[in-house]
């Protein structure tokens, strides 16, 4: 059954695939600096801990556009907000190519602003085009863009950097993002009705955040997601540097480990979204994934520096399968808990709390690594994911606020 307001010429799959491409390039933009970090640090004599500062600063900046997401969508439309997110990523990549700490800091600011705008805009478009009983699958399909972008970047960027230098690798990503920004004009004109905000969608962020504070289930979801997000971003940000520093791998070899983890996340997002749609028990799924990602992080921290490649490859795959596979299920559950017209604003409000994990996670990881080792940092990360899993609401305690009139609205 097609939701009200969705034209018959706007198939959900086409919209999902366009949004997936946006996320592919947003992800590649974010991960470009961490993937190239060993080469940048060696060339520009930067401290190895700059990756933690970059990642933490990037997600701190994303809070600003998460806060403004509802208003931006109402003013510009969701497709324009998606284009804006890509433009910010392009400017950030160009800033990073300066190779200075100031350039990296500006890159973190701009790419962070772009990533903060992308998810609420995509959620607003998807929730108006996908039937409720298929949202977990479609949201997960869209979120595979993170892994596709990460896999492509982890494999291609070290190769381009080896041939032409790390700056050229950043410029290649920027050029592809520009091409996608222009290509988005096609779905923007075809599916314009889905991007228009209803009067109720103009809910201010302050109202959405206040409602979130009163909504216990969403609050617990956001807190759990903050720990999962910290686990995911640290896996993506530090795996290459960890493999180079403590396993003695080359940049290309380390990129393969990250690509394997991203491949696991790609499969995980599709698999977990399909399972959650079939069983319609997203909360139980999230708890299982949290326990598994905690175990993988603990294993990497305990044996990763000495483990043979035949063990590290499946371990990284399992790590990515869980730590990078939960997002679509989570976003679909958030969409299930709020009125359709408020999904963009509500997602932005929840992402602010979730982003605290994305900010503090890399900073804490880098601090533990500097004081002890990468292994100790991964052990601490696993413990954090375990705590987040315990804090998640259970399926038995969950109640639908739409049915009870307690949603954001």
Q: Give the chain's end-to-end CA distance (angstroms, integer).
A: 25
Three-state secondary structure call for residue 72: helix
User: What's the pLDDT score for residue 293?
Assistant: 95
pLDDT confidence of residue 302: 86
Give the DSSP H/E element, type plus range, for residue 276: helix 251-279
Kindly give the interhelix angle for 135-164 and 166-183, rounded to the nearest 10 degrees.
140
- For the stretch 241-300, pLDDT in tens is 888 888 888 888 888 898 899 889 889 888 887 787 776 677 788 888 999 999 999 999
Residue with tokens 């500062």: 53
Q: Half-sphere exposure (CA, 13 Å, Cβ side) for 290?
A: 29
pTM of the predicted protein model: 0.70
* DSSP 8-state symbol, 308: -
Residue range 17-33: mean pLDDT, rounded: 89
The string of DSSP letters for 84-153 reads: HHHHHHHHHHHHHTT-SHHHHHHHHHHHHHHHHHHHHHHHHHHHTTS-GGGHHHHHHHHHHHHHHHHHHH
Distances (CA, A) of 86 to 70, 79, 190: 18, 11, 19
pLDDT of residue 209: 63
Q: Residues near 93 by Cβ (< 8 Å), separated by ≥ 6? A: 29, 32, 107, 111, 170, 171, 173, 174, 177
pLDDT at 403 over 60: no
Share of residues in the chain with pLDDT > 90 (%)? 25
Domain limits of the chain? 12-186+208-391
For 169-233, give the secondary structure using H, E and C.
Answer: HHHHHHHHHHHHHHHCHHHHHHCHHHHCCCHHHHCCHHHHHHHHHHCHHHHHHHHHHHHHHHHHH
User: Residue 75, Cβ neighbours under 10 Å: how many?
Assistant: 12
- pLDDT, greater one: 294 or 338: 294
Contact (CB, 8 A) for 39 and 183: no
State the pLDDT at residue 322.
93
CATH no. for 12-186+208-391: 1.20.1250.20
Nearest to 335 by CA among 326, 325, 324, 344: 344
Contacts of 206 (CB under 8 A, 6+ apart): none
- Residue with structure tokens 């992080």? 297
Cβ neighbors of 109 (< 8 A, separation 6 or more) are 57, 58, 61, 92
Q: What is the pLDDT of residues 109-166, one digit of tens each?
A: 999 998 888 877 777 777 777 776 676 677 777 878 888 888 888 889 989 998 999 9
Checking if the pLDDT of 406 tops 60, the result is no
Q: What is the pLDDT of residue 198?
A: 46
């Amino acid at each position: 059954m097609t939701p009200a307001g969705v034209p018959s010429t706007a198939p959900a799959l086409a919209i999902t695939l366009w949004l997936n491409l946006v996320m592919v390039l947003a992800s590649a933009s974010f991960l470009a600096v961490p993937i190239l970090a060993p080469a940048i640090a060696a060339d520009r004599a930067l401290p190895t801990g700059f990756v933690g500062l970059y990642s933490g600063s990037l997600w701190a900046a994303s809070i600003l556009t998460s806060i403004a997401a509802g208003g931006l969508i109402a003013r510009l439309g969701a497709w324009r907000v998606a284009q804006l997110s890509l433009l910010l990523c392009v400017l950030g990549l160009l800033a990073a190519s300066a190779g200075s700490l100031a350039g990296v800091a500006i890159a973190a600011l701009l790419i962070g602003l772009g990533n903060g705008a992308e998810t609420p805009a995509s959620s607003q478009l998807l929730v108006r085009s996908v039937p409720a009983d298929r949202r977990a699958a479609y949201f997960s399909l869209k979120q595979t863009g993170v892994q596709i972008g990460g896999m492509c970047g982890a494999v291609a960027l070290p190769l381009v950097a080896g041939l032409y230098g790390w700056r050229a690798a950043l410029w290649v990503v920027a050029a592809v993002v520009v091409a996608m920004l222009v290509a988005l004009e096609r779905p923007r004109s075809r599916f314009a009705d889905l991007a228009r905000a209803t009067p109720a969608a103009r809910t201010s962020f302050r109202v959405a955040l206040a409602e979130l504070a009163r909504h216990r289930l969403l609050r617990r979801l956001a807190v759990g997601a903050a720990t999962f997000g910290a686990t995911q971003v640290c896996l993506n940000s530090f795996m290459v540097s960890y493999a180079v520093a403590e396993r003695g791998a080359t940049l290309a070899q380390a990129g393969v480990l990250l690509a394997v983890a991203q491949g696991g996340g790609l499969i995980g997002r599709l698999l977990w979204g399909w399972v959650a749609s079939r069983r319609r028990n997203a909360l139980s799924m999230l708890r299982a994934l949290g326990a598994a990602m905690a175990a993988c992080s603990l294993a990497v921290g305990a044996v990763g520096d000495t483990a043979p490649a035949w063990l590290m490859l499946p371990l990284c795959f399992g790590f990515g399968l869980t730590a990078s596979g939960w997002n679509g299920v989570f976003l679909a559950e958030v969409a299930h808990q709020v009125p359709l017209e408020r999904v963009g604003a509500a997602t932005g409000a929840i992402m602010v709390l979730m982003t605290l994990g994305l900010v503090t996670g890399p900073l804490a990881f880098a601090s533990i690594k500097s004081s002890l080792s990468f292994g100790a940092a991964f052990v601490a990360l696993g413990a954090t994911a375990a705590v987040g899993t315990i804090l998640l609401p259970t399926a038995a305690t969950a109640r639908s606020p739409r049915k009870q009139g307690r949603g954001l609205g």
